[in-house]
Amino acid sequence: MKTNGYTFAELNGKEELIEEIRSLESKLQEQTGEPITLIAYEKERAGNGERA
């Protein structure tokens, strides 16, 4: 899977956001009957590989 222009989002210390992602994963699993994993990315700044 290509992730050009994106890096993993830094969510350390943002427990409320992490819990929101977990809650949505559970809701999607209930609706689809399949395990769902959401992955948080953030767009890198153009040309330097830093986060936007």
Q: What is the pLDDT of residues 9-19, one digit of tens each?
A: 999 999 999 99
Quote the number of domains for the chain: 1
Supply the range of the domain harboring residue 21: 11-43
pLDDT per residue over 1-52, tens digit each?
566 889 999 999 999 999 999 999 999 999 999 999 999 999 987 655 555 5
- Rounded CA-CA distance 33/36 in Å is 9
In a domain, 1, yes or no: no
* Strands, E assignment, the chain: 6-8, 41-43
Query: Are residues 46 and 9 in contact, defined by beta-carbon separation less than 8 angstroms?
Result: no
pTM: 0.72
In a domain, 15, yes or no: yes
Q: Which helix (H) or strand (E) holds 52?
A: none
